[in-house]
Chain A
């Protein structure tokens, strides 16, 4: 080994150019994702408006301002249609959740129940719910029940499968801790197993909601349901039949706004308050 001298260095105290400084206004702006996206959105809106005006055929491509005007003019019927759609959606979603709870309970208790859930899920999950519309027309004729049948199918499988996987994923240690507390069976399920499985349950709820939202808009277009209870899907279809293209765009805008509101406001908020705060993100 070569002979190496030891070295000891003097650490400088105040010779740095910058140790800390506030970031510039531009850096702050560019670091904000919401602001970046807002700017992007404004650019897209401008491109849309200009190109539509330049093209000049509002029957084919209405401009943004025409769409917004239709949105405001039609605010009454549009929000009425949205209300019907949401009421139906909530009925189907909650019935789907209820069935999912029953199915998960059976699957958690018996092995054959678990097999049943897994087999049925792998069969029905790849089937787009909209594909059930023809059969629901035969079974339920043109009625709200037919729509709800289609919706339940959209919600049930993803929620049940995720909830069941969530329960199975609760760690053995956590289970033992829970049993150590002297809780009742109900207490053990509600205070230990359900919160322990919550990340998966939330994922199931989110996927179920997304499926349901897409399914109801699509099936309302095919379905219509009887006259006075026009939903959003039917509304868009009707506007199209009347060749009122700005109305079609206004309907689509409503679908986007509502979808965004639920998916990003409600679910994001729940996520932030629970899973993310607990450090249980999957």
Chain B
């Protein structure tokens, strides 16, 4: 058994995982023998075209989908159900409980699993609401907030739960372009403070490069690992990022790079 104390060991190991799900009459194979490892404090991005099974992989890590082949280990222990140690942030704006105020949404997440006393939970909720600049909206109900604010509450809620991993399923995809860039910056700032381990799914190459320190590229139908790349990080010049983007495009669209031939 792995004790989980050895911090050089990966926090999450996905080993040869094949996933499928059923929609009505069809059985869809979403991912085929996908393997990767996430280290502590990684900002690990899964990038791929729609239909590459990236969301399904994230759901499997969340414990909502069971692999038909392979295994997923968190700190050496197999994942078999959803739990508060892996908190999801979804793309949909309806992920907040509409019948609770912003503050109560966070407090409830903390006391629901009987993990915190109410007074502690309130204190922590206030703290994280401050971090996402929503202190003034603590007593509002979610339907009165804008899309970006709702996503910030969802992120604050996820961080307040202090999970071992943050699972983010295209949380900024439904936002307008300006808000999206702001949210990406805020997320990086929050990460600088908390150093949480983030597993982030997106189909946007710029977003992957801006947020990730390591990027897993998936092919479509069913998703297979195409590459695992290092990402220079935000401090680097635009030139490095642009080169990485070109490389990712070439890999995703199957252009030959060895011969340096096709550069559209």
Q: Are A174 and B142 in contact (CB under 8 A)?
A: no
Q: Are B112 and A278 in contact (CB under 8 A)?
A: no
Given the contacts A278-B143, A280-B98, A177 and B88 also touching, CB distance less than 8 Å: yes
Name B's A-contacting residues (CB within 8 A): 62, 64, 82-84, 86-88, 90, 92, 94-95, 97-99, 108-109, 112-113, 115, 141-144
Chain A neighbourhood of B143, CB < 8 A = 278-280
Q: Are B83 and A274 in contact (CB under 8 A)?
A: no
Asked if A191 lies at the interface with its beta carbon under 8 angstroms from chain B, I say yes
CA distance A62 to B64 in the complex (A): 69
Asked if A187 lies at the interface with its beta carbon under 8 angstroms from chain B, I say yes
Q: List 29 A-B contacts (CB under 8 A).
A: A173-B92, A176-B62, A176-B64, A176-B82, A176-B88, A176-B90, A177-B95, A180-B82, A180-B83, A181-B84, A181-B108, A181-B109, A181-B112, A181-B113, A182-B83, A182-B112, A182-B113, A183-B113, A191-B112, A192-B97, A195-B97, A198-B99, A277-B141, A278-B98, A278-B141, A279-B142, A279-B143, A279-B144, A280-B99
Asked if A74 lies at the interface with its beta carbon under 8 angstroms from chain B, I say no
Q: Are A173 and B95 in contact (CB under 8 A)?
A: yes
CA distance A179 to B92 in the complex (A): 16
Q: Are B113 and A174 in contact (CB under 8 A)?
A: no
Asked if A171 lies at the interface with its beta carbon under 8 angstroms from chain B, I say yes
Q: Are B98 and A180 in contact (CB under 8 A)?
A: no
Name A's B-contacting residues (CB within 8 A): 171, 173-174, 176-177, 179-183, 187, 191-192, 195-196, 198, 274, 277-280
CA distance A191 to B109 in the complex (A): 11
Given the contacts A278-B99, A278-B143, A171 and B92 also touching, CB distance less than 8 Å: yes
Chain B neighbourhood of A176, CB < 8 A = 62, 64, 82, 88, 90
CA distance A196 to B142 in the complex (A): 14
B64 to chain A, nearest CB (A): 6
A244 to chain B, nearest CB (A): 51
Chain B, Cβ-Cβ closest to A172: B92
Known pairs A174-B95, A181-B84, A182-B113. 17 more at Cβ < 8 A? A173-B90, A174-B94, A176-B64, A176-B82, A176-B90, A179-B64, A179-B82, A180-B82, A180-B83, A180-B86, A180-B88, A181-B113, A183-B113, A195-B99, A198-B99, A278-B141, A280-B143
Chain B neighbourhood of A179, CB < 8 A = 64, 82
CA distance A111 to B64 in the complex (A): 22
- Can you list the 6 inter-chain pairs with the closest CB atoms, starting with the nearest? A279-B143, A182-B113, A181-B112, A182-B84, A173-B92, A179-B82
CA distance A173 to B141 in the complex (A): 18
Chain A neighbourhood of B92, CB < 8 A = 171, 173
Given the contacts A173-B94, A176-B88, A183-B112, A274 and B99 also touching, CB distance less than 8 Å: yes
B141 to chain A, nearest CB (A): 6
Contact of B87 among A171, A180, A277 (CB under 8 A): A180
Q: Are B97 and A171 in contact (CB under 8 A)?
A: no
CA distance A180 to B113 in the complex (A): 10
Chain A neighbourhood of B87, CB < 8 A = 180
B237 to chain A, nearest CB (A): 37
CA distance A77 to B117 in the complex (A): 55
Chain A neighbourhood of B109, CB < 8 A = 181
Scoring A174, A182, A183, A280 by chain B CB atoms within 10 A of each residue's CB, the highest score goes to A182
Scoring A180, A183, A191, A280 by chain B CB atoms within 10 A of each residue's CB, the highest score goes to A180
